[in-house]
Structure 1
Amino acid sequence: MGWMGPVVDDQEHEGWVVPLFADGAQGAGTTSARGVLIVRRPDDGPCDGDRVRLAYRDGCTAEGIWQDGTVIGGDGIMPGNAGGQVHCEVIEEADQWRPDAEVVGWVAGCTCGWRGTPWTRVPPRLADPAARRLAVAGPWAELEAADENRVRQEWRQHIAGWQALEDVKEAATRQAAAARALDEAVRAALAAGASWADIGQVTGMTGRSATERWSARD
């Protein structure tokens, strides 16, 4: 992940450049020497390396590691499609990695589930940002700063309305805090012997206006 946005109705809007693969898989925005970390979708079945729990009709359960359609556990290999099995639950997902070279494009993504319009990966000689064709140097899949910013701008447009409301909310909070601080300062000044004329002068109003504004609050 990388770009922090507003929180709306307890939903964070954090954006990142999502690597895309030819089979529809998407990257999580994390890369390493192992390649690109893949985002697991809710409807994905068990993947190699996952720890799973098998439940059988007789009430028995067994746990193990999913590998090539079978479950390897303490009792050896258990077929993942055993006739008595009624449920297979993934209880711990294994990280899935793919080589950078398999990335075919990128798209702006947000933790709310939104995705922008894809950008296609091309060789450097065919790069044309205006046509949504981007290239990277070498075998890696990380975009150059200028291209990442192009993708980021689409995410900014996605959150623009929420961000504007968040800015209004923060400004209103600051204004309310400043108003409370001013009220307290006026009370302290009066207690120290200042007149309403003095208060009006330093707050940019007449003494009468200052009296009308603050005397009723004391």
Structure 2
Amino acid sequence: MGWVSNDHEHEGWAAAVAPDGRLSASSSGEGMLVQGITGHYQPDKMLPDYEVVPDREIIGWRGACGCGWRGELWERVTSPAAADFGRRRDFVPLDEFANPSSKVEGAIHDEWKAHLAPLEAVAGVEAAAREYNQAGRRLDKTVAAAKAAGASWADIGRAVGISRQSAHERWAEKQ
């Protein structure tokens, strides 16, 4: 299962990690699909540029994003006793699908969201700047219309919360 950012520019997922470090893009009934042909694994029948890594060979998971970001490795361990969430170790039996536990997937999702946080904050700044510029253009037009209708600089300044002189200095050249 994957996640999409608010701006639809980033897609993230909990990727299974093959022994050679390649990350899965998807899965099939035979195992995890990883891009690239090494000859170590069977090629996928539907995607000729992908190999199928058997679930039992998956060594762990990490967050991945379409932008290229990669999270830290969550290691797959072979016994419940070796599992340690604090040390990024999770037990998934070798004879089961190599999907991370819901707890690890949630932690990976949190890491991906932290990766997005600065990007989404900047997107918020961009949106606010657009709104600010639009409001400034709308204000310039309404000041010009008020002046054309006979309003004084004192009236305009009072409406905007500035002095008559400041209103004149700001908009007289735009008339």
- Please indicate, yes or no, whether the TM-score normalized by the shorter chain is above 0.5: yes
Aligned residues of 2:76 and 2:89 also touching (Cα < 8 A)? yes
Alignment of 1:25-174 (within 5 A): 25-28=22-25, 30-31=26-27, 34=29, 37-41=32-36, 44=38, 47=43, 49=45, 93=48, 97=52, 100=55, 102-122=57-77, 126-135=82-91, 139-140=96-97, 141-144=99-102, 146-158=103-115, 162-174=119-131
**Counterparts of 1:155 and 1:134, CA distance in 2:** 18
Larger strand percent: 1
CA displacement, residues 72-120 of structure 1 (integer Å, 9 cap, x when unaligned): xxxxxxxxxxxxxxxxxxxx73765556555431112232434232101
Aligned residues of 2:23 and 2:34 also touching (Cα < 8 A)? yes
Q: Percent identity?
A: 38
Aligned residues of 1:37 and 1:95 also touching (Cα < 8 A)? no
Please give the secondary structure, in 2, of the residue aligned with 1:15: strand
Larger helix percent: 2
1:215 to 168, 172, 175: 172
Aligned residues of 1:5 and 1:15 also touching (Cα < 8 A)? no
2:162 to 184, 205, 213: 205
CA displacement, residues 109-162 of structure 1 (integer Å, 9 cap, x when unaligned): 232434232101245554322101135699441542x53342234345555655
Q: Which runs of 5+ in 1 are unaligned?
A: 51-91
- Asked which structure has the greater CA Rg, the reply is 1
Aligned residues of 1:196 and 1:210 also touching (Cα < 8 A)? yes
**Counterparts of 2:152 and 2:80, CA distance in 1:** 74
> 2:151 matched to 1:184?
no
Aligned residues of 1:5 and 1:14 also touching (Cα < 8 A)? no
Q: CA deviation at 1:172?
A: 2.6
**Counterparts of 1:113 and 1:197, CA distance in 2:** 56
Q: CA deviation at 1:217?
A: 1.0
- Residue number in structure 2 paired with 1:74: none
Aligned residues of 2:65 and 2:112 also touching (Cα < 8 A)? yes
**Counterparts of 2:101 and 2:88, CA distance in 1:** 13
Aligned residues: CA RMSD = 3.8
**Counterparts of 2:50 and 2:168, CA distance in 1:** 67
Q: How many residues align?
A: 169
Aligned residues of 2:62 and 2:73 also touching (Cα < 8 A)? yes
Q: 1:213–1:205: structure 2 CA closer, same or farther, 3 Å change rule?
A: same
